[in-house]
Amino acid sequence: MNQPLKEGRTRQSSFRVIYPPMGYDSIPIAASNAKEFGKKKRVNRAAKLKQSKLDVRREQWLSQVKNKGCKEETNGVSGVKMPAERNDINPSGEENEGLRNLCSDSESPFNSPMSSVFGSNRSPSHFTSNSSSSSSSGGCCSESMTEEDDGDNECLDDWEAIADALAADDIKNDNLESPEPDSVTATMEASQDDCCARAWRADDVFRPQSLPNLLKQNSFPCFKNVCSPSTCPICCEDLDLTDTSFLPCPCGYRLCLFCHKRILEDDGRCPGCRKQYDHHGPGNLSSKMGRSYSMIPRR
Amino acid sequence: MATMNNQDSNNSNNRTAAPPTNASKQPLPTPKAVDTQSVLKRLQSELMALMMSGDSGISAFPEEDNIFCWKGTISGSKDTVFEGTEYKLSLSFPNDYPFKPPKVKFETGCFHPNVDVFGNICLDILQDKWSSAYDVRTILISIQSLLGEPNTSSPLNTQAAALWSNQEEYRKMVVEKHLYKKPNH
């Protein structure tokens, strides 16, 4: 019991030496900003789950913990931030001891399974001393109590974030590797030459489907199956996960949801094949992805 | 007179009623600004793509101070009567590009059935057959191919349309007009 405590003490003291110059207030703000930024692109489900769970204090707390994985300094922050409260509560000579307890305590559940055990062992004594001093310690107590069962969720969240990032990277890499530039643009150019002489003159909307489809598949080969673009071809913004699984037209032309909505408000034709988004030919439906579309694909 | 007054009072009522609605609709300009932003992004990436593509016979670049106005050049394709000629074009992009097509005009006079004397081009992909999947590059390529394959059934320049069947004479005309025009540029 004493041994790991000392370890925590020395470790923490080194942090204390380095980090106190940073303002108590500025760091949590920065941390929460970083959190918001990372949160933006995350799946809705995770965001909802989190929001329902967090009150203001815990949000602050968790944001520090979350950033811990990437930034060492937030360790220092969580160590420093708590003593600030502690100072108000208990300005006695014992303060430093309690401070260090708190510091190593706050850090422990996330460092290793070993220290998490110590953390939970130590916390009761720590909280009793706290609760005797003021009512505000109640919040502090509940923080640390929930902190541990929250740890798993946090990990999960982080893993989801990492998985998202990895998936995004993979997509990018795939696109980089795919032989898009030369061969495809060459064929595109060639077919464009063919197309604009003839294809645009006839009312391609009313033409038999098989005829223009062949032409058009040739004229937009990179939308079909060579690659799924990493950016929206219309607005050039990055496609997120929802966008990349969004296949609004059987011709395979992909675009982001914003541009799709914009086009629906306008003339509602797919930019890739100029057909109306609403009524596709029968049999083409199967190529649509059921996930983002409520229509049931026909077999 | 009384009706006039009534109308006036109605108008003034409308005017007084207007400010609150305007105030409530103040968020509207922001999406517009965002739109312009995305148009900028699109045009910038088009410029990048165009410069990287290294297409022969077409080029385009924004004017100095305005990325919504580009100057382009196309050269006549080989084995057409326009071979060896070069034409300057202007492209002006609307704020809702690429959902609406840019306005494209020949700056150099072009003797062509589908180009009028003011340089206006009759090309369906620049009008009703526009698709937001098109970009500057495909427009220029389309115009380049339009040179060699005009639509003589609905001409803007009837003289050129009539002469098209006689390719030798047409070639002479093109060269003559082009040589005549060239020193101006």
- Tens of pLDDT, residues A146-201: 444 444 444 455 666 666 666 666 555 555 444 444 444 444 444 444 444 454 44
On whether any CB of chain A is under 8 Å from the CB of B154, the answer is no
Residue of higher predicted confidence among A223 and B70: B70
Residues A104 and A10: beta-carbon distance below 8 Å: no
Distance from the Cα of A245 to chain B's closest Cα (Å) equals: 19
pLDDT by residue (tens digit) across A134-158? 344 344 444 444 444 444 444 455 6
Q: What element of type H or E holds B158?
A: helix B158-163
Helix/strand/coil for B110: coil
pLDDT recorded at residue A93: 43
Task: Indicate which of B99, B152, B153 best probes the interface with A, i.e. most A CBs within 10 Å of its own CB.
Answer: B99
Contact residues, chain A, for B149 at CB < 8 Å: 196-197
A22-69 residue pLDDT tens: 444 444 444 444 444 444 444 455 555 555 555 655 555 655 655 554
Question: Above 80 in pLDDT, residue B139?
Answer: yes
Buried/exposed A192-215: b ≥16 CB within 10 Å, e otherwise: bbebbbebbeeebeeeeeeebbeb
Residue A164, token pair as written in the block: 């998202």
Please report the pLDDT score of residue B43 as a whole number: 93
Name the residue in chain A with its Cα closest to that of B98. Answer: A234
ipTM above 0.85, yes or no: no
Mapped onto helix, strand or coil, the DSSP state of residue B143 is helix
The reported pLDDT for the residue numbered A168 is: 65
User: What angle, 0 to 180 degrees and rounded to 10, lies between the N-to-C axes of helices A95-111 and A137-177?
Assistant: 40
pLDDT at A263 over 80: yes
Please name the residue of chain A whose CA is at the shortest distance from the CA of residue B147: A197
For A263, phi then psi, to 5°, come to -70, -35
* Binding-site residues on chain A for chain B (CB distance < 8 A): 185, 189, 192-193, 196-197, 200-201, 220, 231, 233-237, 253, 259, 262-263, 266, 269, 271-272, 274
Confidence check: pLDDT of A131 > 90: no
Q: Could you tell me if B145 lies within 8 Å of chain A, comparing CB atoms?
A: yes
Longest dimension (CA), chain B: 75
Q: What percentage of chain A reaches a pLDDT higher than 90?
A: 4
Predicted local distance difference test score (pLDDT) of residue B102: 96
Residue whose C-alpha is closest to residue A105's, from A132, A70, A130: A130
Residues from chain A contacting residue B133 (CB–CB below 8 Å)? 220, 233-234, 253, 271-272
What count of Cα atoms within 13 Å lies in the side-chain half-sphere of residue A128? 4
SS3 B1: coil
Q: Which residues of B touch A269 (CB under 8 A)?
A: 131
Q: What is the mean pLDDT of chain A?
A: 53
Strand-by-strand arrangement of the B86-92 sheet: B58-62, B69-75, B86-92, B103-106
- Give φ, ψ of B112 to 5 degrees: -150, 140
Task: Specify whether the CB–CB gap between A222 and A229 falls below 8 A.
Answer: yes
CB contact residues (below 8 A), chain B span 155-184, against chain A: none
Kindly state whether B123 is in contact with chain A, defined as any CB-CB distance less than 8 angstroms.
Answer: yes
pLDDT value, residue B114: 95
Radius of gyration of chain B (CA): 23
With bands split at pLDDT 50, 70 and 90, how would you rate the model's confidence at B154? confident
- pLDDT of A123 reads 40
Contact yes or no for A196 and B132 at CB 8 A: no
Task: Say whether pLDDT at A282 is over 90.
Answer: no
Per-residue pLDDT band at A205 (split at 50, 70, 90): low
Which of B121, B122, B146, B174 is flagged as catalytic? B122
Give the lowest-confidence range in A107-116, A276-285, B156-165.
Answer: A107-116
pLDDT at residue B19 tops 80: no
With beta carbons under 8 A apart, name residues in chain A contacting B131: 269, 271-272, 274
A233: nearest Cα among A254, A250, A214, A252: A254
The answer to whether the CB of B76 falls within 8 A of the CB of B177 is no
B122 is a catalytic site residue: yes
Torsion, Cα B133 A178 A169 A233, to 10 degrees, reads 0
The larger pLDDT score, comparing residue B180 to residue B166, is at B166
Contacts of B123 in chain A (CB under 8 A): 196
pLDDT at B62: 94
pLDDT digits (tens, 9 = 90+) for B102-112: 999 999 999 99
pLDDT-above-90 percentage for chain B: 63
Pairwise CB contact (< 8 Å): A192 & B53 = no
- Confidence label for A279 from pLDDT (cuts 50, 70 and 90): low
Contacts of A263 in chain B (CB under 8 A): 99, 132
**Nearest to residue B143, comparing CAs of B65, B79, B86?**
B86
pLDDT of residue B37: 83
Q: What is the pLDDT of residues B40-81, one digit of tens each?
A: 999 999 999 999 888 889 999 999 889 999 999 999 999 999
| DSSP code of residue B105 | E
pLDDT tens digits, one per residue of A59-83: 556 556 555 544 444 344 444 444 4
The Cα of B19 is separated from the nearest Cα of chain A by a number of Å equal to 27
B5 pLDDT above the threshold of 70? no
Hey, which of A94-98, A156-160, B113-117 has the most confident mean pLDDT?
Answer: B113-117
Which DSSP letter does residue B64 get? S
Chain A partners within 8 Å of B42 (Cβ): 234-236
B6 Cβ under 8 Å from any chain A Cβ: no
Residue A204, pLDDT score: 56
CA distances from A103 to A4, A84, A131, A287 (A): 13, 11, 17, 57
C-beta separation of A43 from A164 below 8 A: yes
Range list of β-strands (E), B13-157: 58-62, 69-75, 86-92, 103-106
The answer to whether B95 contacts chain A (CB < 8 Å) is: no
Query: Can you give the pLDDT at residue B138?
Result: 93
**Long-range pairs for A107-112 at CB < 8 Å and ≥24 separation?**
A107/A8, A107/A12, A107/A75, A107/A78, A107/A79, A108/A8, A109/A147, A109/A148, A109/A151, A110/A65, A110/A68, A110/A151
Chain B residue with CA closest to A269: the answer is B131
- Angstroms from A229 CA to nearest CA on chain B: 13
| Tens of pLDDT, residues A102-117 | 444 444 344 444 433 4
